[in-house]
Amino acid sequence: MVYVFEMPMPVEIVGLLRSTITITWEDEHVSAYPTRELRLRCRCAACIEEMTGQPLLDPKTVQETVRARAIRVVGQYAINIDWSDGHNTGIYNFRDLRANCPCEACAKLRAAGQTPE
């Protein structure tokens, strides 16, 4: 038996040296992530303790002016961002990015117990 899971796919990613990283999805939905908030959401081993899940990254150490210097697609499931603070080991999964879209419509869906699609 083969299971097929729909992965939301971006058609455009814009955000180099900007205060937001904007992703336009296949269904034309647009998600705009403030760069600092996205940097603070990194789940790599340097930012989150692997065994406990406790944060290692001190938010006070991430400047408001942090920017993406490079954005690379990882396979067909994520992006990797080279941040201006020197960090570059995080992978941001498309499914998580779409599920946590910061727009008002998606926030309302999450508040109602639904998942943005």
Q: How far apart are CA 91 and CA 42, in angstroms?
A: 7
CA dihedral 39, 44, 46, 48 (to 10 degrees): 90
40 SS3 class: helix
Sequence spans of domains, the chain: 10-111
- Predicted confidence (pLDDT) per residue in 18-28, tens digit: 999 999 999 99
Average pLDDT, the chain: 93
Confirm if 90 and 47 have CB atoms less than 8 A apart.
Answer: yes
Question: Each residue of 72-92: pLDDT tens digit?
Answer: 999 999 999 999 999 999 999
Kindly report the CATH number that applies to the domain delimited by 10-111.
Answer: 3.30.2020.30
Residue type, 65: T
pLDDT, residue 93, reads: 95
